[in-house]
Structure 1
Amino acid sequence: MLLALLALIAVWAVSAAAQAQETRSFAGETIRVVPFAAGLEHPWSLAFLPDRRILVTERAGRLRVVDAAGRIGPPVAGVPQVAARGQGGLLDVILDPNFTTNRLIYLSFAEPRPDGAATAVARARLSEDAARLADLTVIFRQQPAHSGGNHFGSRLVFAPDGTLFVTLGERFDLMDKAQDLSTTLGKVVRIAPDGGIPADNPFRDRPGARPEIFSYGHRNVQAAVIEPATGRLWTVEHGPRGGDEVNRPEAGKNYGWPVIGYGRHYSGAKIGVGPSKEGMEQPLFYWDPSIAPSGAAFYSADLLPAFKGQLFVGALAGQALLEVKVRDGAVIGEERLPLGKRIRDVRQGPDGALWLATDDTGEILRVVPARARD
């Protein structure tokens, strides 16, 4: 019986691997989805080191290095303590723009506090052997903390001017605070790499407002990326029952949550006043029903030429990779590549492939041309 079961599992594994690598048509290209690494626990974010090794965060609170052969290393020492509950834990990781000379990395995480937890951002120096972090400093703390375990955000992305955008959820139970400028709940904030406040932030000089706020009225942004052609920030955020949004946040603007939205609350109740209100921005695109978006990348490489200039978004509930079709700054539609796995992160790799992290199966996958060798 045991041998038969093991044989069945082996056949299933071979079949699943073969299916993952089958030739498929997607976004104008003939592609394969190739497994690269497996055995991670809820991977949340990928960041490529200059030698093509990959830093990977695991939500439970571990930072790992995956080598060029897909081997997963032991946890990197010196990672901050995280509140690994609900949607919280160790979240995003990115390299400093000058990493090759300063070896600085940035981590976002749910930070445990006496009154609950809140999203924080830390900066640290990665050792030459990538085995440990040194000089770790928390450069940003979301205010206030909350006891719940939902809607921490949080993506990190450097703007062309060297400032750092941080996306922050409204912690679900505190959704009305997304409209409250005295908090950083439901906001995109913009800070200097050391945590300082840029002189041109829109609310820097407004009494009672948090000076780090860039835009507000967001729900739970888990995708943020700079469009290479324009240098503009794009975000993708979770709606409730419908109403996931693609936005292009601008300084000082209000994106409406929870006053406006295109879905409904989980109870079925209407959101605020409906889909629009004067003084509140409309999304560039929205999904109803929800796909539960997480992770995004604008494609700019040559390996998959039909992908160029397009936005690719991971879907958790939708279990797919989506191409968001961008033309002249507008979104004109989307196309889906069903994968049957919860896609948590999407990155363009140095090899020109699209790299994906799966939340449920703990894998790293590569989207490559059908003609490419593994």
Structure 2
Amino acid sequence: MLDRLQSLADRYEKLSELLCDPAVTADPKRLREYSKEQSDLEETYQAYTEYRKVVSQLNDARAMLGEKLDEDMRAMVKEEIDELTRRKEELEKRIRILLLPKDPNDDKNVIVEIRAAAGGEEAALFAGDLYRMYTRYAETQGWKVELIDASVSDLGGFKEVIFMISGKGAYSRLKYESGAHRVQRVPVTESGGRIHTSTSTVAVLPEVEELEVEILDKDIRVDTFCASGHGGQSVNTTKSAVRVTHIPTGIVATCQDGKSQNDNKQKALQVLRARIYEMRRREEEERLANERRSKIGTGDRSERIRTYNFPQSRVTDHRIGLTLHKLDAVLNGEIDEIIDALILAEQAELLEQENAAIV
């Protein structure tokens, strides 16, 4: 581990030199690449720098115990050794986490798709609740939200809503939201006061660049139609809405909320690229899972991941057994506590796998 850390530290310091080189500062592409690489190494470099300092201080303190000291000074040195030892162990744990394999998509923007599933109109209303939860969370993070497409239900919920969230680290935080979300409450359409269970599904896809997924013109069919409003009524007389079909896979993406037909086409292509990328990623994960004879990490979206229970004001994430009794706050976008717990659980699993591999 120390050899790897020293190699990363050497690279970080080399990047510092390169970023001061006039030839690099005059080249925007290289400047951007080197700046990002150094930024990615920053936290690990700082942790390793502190670790080296703590180890040096610890060695000095231990050496002092071999000298002639009065009892008070010896007690102070022992106390310092205990404190430095604790800090060294904390840094070692933090560094092991920082050295875990990074998801290459973590820094990307995301395309979020929410669909009403079981429960009819109540599921559509819950899909609307989830949409508001994520948009409010995005606002607290300083991220930008852009609606791509929506199909509104009769009572103002969403049969389907697709939107983009743009901001640093959006995928790293929101990727854990993919799955089936379940709500338990008395629906507005229920006259008898009975609690119903409904579900909506969430898919969080990383935004994909054109170079990552190439879509050839010959492989797509583009259809245009009039954008529609509530209940499917036409809201304009021009065919500005766009539906793009990827013929080889049959994947379809639609956009009608852009300012123009071209704008809608570009957004639909963004969604299409993300869906194709996700399909290929899942196929590769399934192939690897079959080789391991395990389904761990396949991210099956049919799995129920979370329940929102209104009578008990309870939110339970079933993947990690976390229960919070603050439903209103969660639906108002306060989901950091859940996301942080999911990240810690994933890190613990990765560390366990790494330790098992070493053994």
- What is the TM-score of this pair, normalised by structure 2? 0.22
Higher strand share: 1
Q: Which is helix-richer, 1 or 2?
A: 2
